Amino acid sequence: EAGVAQSPRYKIIEKRQSVAFWCNPISGHATLYWYQQILGQGPKLLIQFQNNGVVDDSQLPKDRFSAERLKGVDSTLKIQPAKLEDSAVYLCASSLNRGGYEQYFGPGTRLTVT
């Protein structure tokens, strides 16, 4: 079974530029998550989708971050404009459904904002 795919793996941008990350979850997984992991910290949930609908985006900085999962499969996370403090690894995860299902994580995208 193929795992969660993410691209790009690394991205370096200057502050005030925009950037987008892509995630393809495990086939058949209804729930998709985006996490932000700042160096030295644990992952922090940014947004959770159930199929193509947003379940929770309470920790997403909506003035600059946006995410979509239009067809209920793959998803994109965008930052516009980026700030220095956005430097982090952005992890995508998926699970079969909500509730107690195991979350499977992708390799992450390491973003450096200079």
Smaller CB distance to other proteins: residue 80 or 97? 97
Distance (Å, rounded) from C-alpha 57 to C-alpha 34? Answer: 10
Q: Which residue type does 29 have?
A: H
In the chain, what are the helix, strand and coil shares in percent, each to the nearest 5?
5, 50, 50
* Rounded least distance, CB 23 to other proteins, Å: 13
Q: Which is nearer to other proteins, 25 or 43 (CB)?
A: 43
Q: Minimum CB separation from other proteins for residue 107, in Å?
A: 6
* Rounded Cα distance, 113 and 17, in Å: 9
Name the residue nearer to other proteins (CB basis): 9 or 16. Answer: 9
Q: How far is CA 18 from CA 11, 15, 32, 86, in A?
A: 11, 8, 22, 11
Rounded to the nearest whole angstrom, what is the least distance from the CB of residue 64 to other proteins in the complex?
Answer: 22
Shortest approach of other proteins to residue 100 CB, angstroms? 6
Q: Which residues contact other proteins (rule: CB under 8 A)? A: 3-4, 31, 33, 40-45, 48, 55-56, 91, 93, 95, 97-103, 105-108
